[in-house]
Each structure stands twice: as structure tokens, then as C-alpha cells.
Amino acid sequence: MGLNEHLTRDGFVTTTLESVVTWAQRNSLWPMPMGISCCAIEMMAFGGPRADSSRFGSERFSFSPRQADLMIVAGTVTYKMSWVVKKIWDQMPDPKWCIAMGVCTSSGGMFRSYPVVQGIDQFLPVDAYVAGCPPRPEALMKALMYIQEKVSASKPTLANFGKDTGTVNRGEIITI
């Protein structure tokens, strides 16, 4: 029976608080656009009308880290920039997720040289690595859907009421 039928017949549904919070969390992942170089252009396309991230509740790019759940690191991270990325990540409230978009962010990519961090997982917990230079917006969409599944699988940390929150699994590698 669908939600609609429940509501029209009974006028109420029963569920657990945990699943409501998870449901709300997974459908309103607000990205922090950490657009550092060219990948950021495809990230804008991801927010634009054709790919349309608002279908997943992620149209609200948060330019303040304090209202963001998901950091999309899109671009070449140099050693000098790594401290800035980390500072912004630290300002985001838990629970938070991180997408490494593009090969530069995932592994240094073509910039195999002294100033570029060879993969941001050396200092950040990454949930999804998106391959491509730059990845198509569809690939970023798939990463977002993967994060949504991850959110549904984890228990909400904000509604723990003193209970064990379970571990938020980070560092799992998927390739889109």
C-alpha cells in the first residue's frame, strides 16, 4: 500500500522517528560546492536544468559550510589549498559526506607533480570517488544517489537520544 492510500484512508501513517529523519536527510543533501578548478563547471551543469540536482533535493548549493551535508570537492587540490579544504570540512556539522569529483581529486590525475595532493583521501574521509576528467554530470548524479543509499543505510546521528548511533561507514571506494 502506498503512502497516499494510507493517508487518504486512515489519515495517518506509523513509522519510527529514525526512519523519518533518515528519509528527510537523504532527500535534502545540501552540497557544499568546493569547486577549485575545471570540474566545478560540470558541477554547475549538475545543478542546472538538464541534469537538475533538485530532483534529489540537492539544488540548494550551500556557500556556507555550516548549512551543508555533502562536500563535493571538484578540482585539483594543491598542498597549499589542502588546509583550506580541511578547514571548510571541519566547519560542516555532522553527519557529513564527501564526494571526490574527478581524477585530480581522487588520485592527483594528470598532475603527477610536487604541488598537487595525490588524492584527497590522504586527509579527508571520502565516500565516493567519481572517475573522469571531468566526469559527466550523470556520473556526479550517480555518486549522489550512492550517497543517498549510504544515508538510508546508516542510522541518523542527530536523533540518537543517547543510543548507539552505529558507525558511519566512510572510506568505501566505488567507481562510477
Partner 1 sequence: MSTTFETIIAVAKAVTPNVTPVEHHGDLTIHVDRDHFMDVLAELRDNPRTKFNMLVDITAVDKNTSPDRYDVVYFLLSLEFSHRVRIKVGVRDDRMELPTVVEIWESANWYERETYDMYGITFEGHPDMRRFYMPEDFMDADGTQLYPLRKDFPLMGIPGSLPLPPKEEI
3-state secondary structure of 8: helix
According to the binding rule CB under 8 A, does residue 79 interact with partner 1?
Answer: yes
Q: Which of ligand SF4, partner 1, none does 109 bind, CB closer than 5 to 8 A by kind?
A: ligand SF4
According to the binding rule CB under 6 A, does residue 102 interact with ligand SF4?
Answer: yes
- The rounded distance, in Å, linking the Cα atoms of 101 and 73 is 6
- The rounded distance, in Å, linking the Cα atoms of 176 and 166 is 27
The stretch among 3-11, 87-95, 101-109, 143-151 that binds ligand SF4 (CB under 6 A) is: 101-109
Query: ∠ CA(100), CA(128), CA(26), 5° rounding?
Result: 115
- Return the residue of 100, 103, 120, 176 that touches ligand SF4, per CB under 6 A: 103
Question: Which residue's CB is nearer to ligand SF4, number 31 or number 156?
Answer: 31
| Contact assessment for residue 97 and residue 127, using Cβ atoms and an 8 Å cutoff | yes
- The rounded distance, in Å, linking the Cα atoms of 13 and 1 is 11
Q: Which of ligand SF4, partner 1, none does 124 bind, CB closer than 5 to 8 A by kind?
A: partner 1
What does the binding site for partner 1 look like in residue numbers (CB under 8 A)?
A: 79-80, 82-83, 86, 112-115, 117, 122-125, 167-168, 170-171
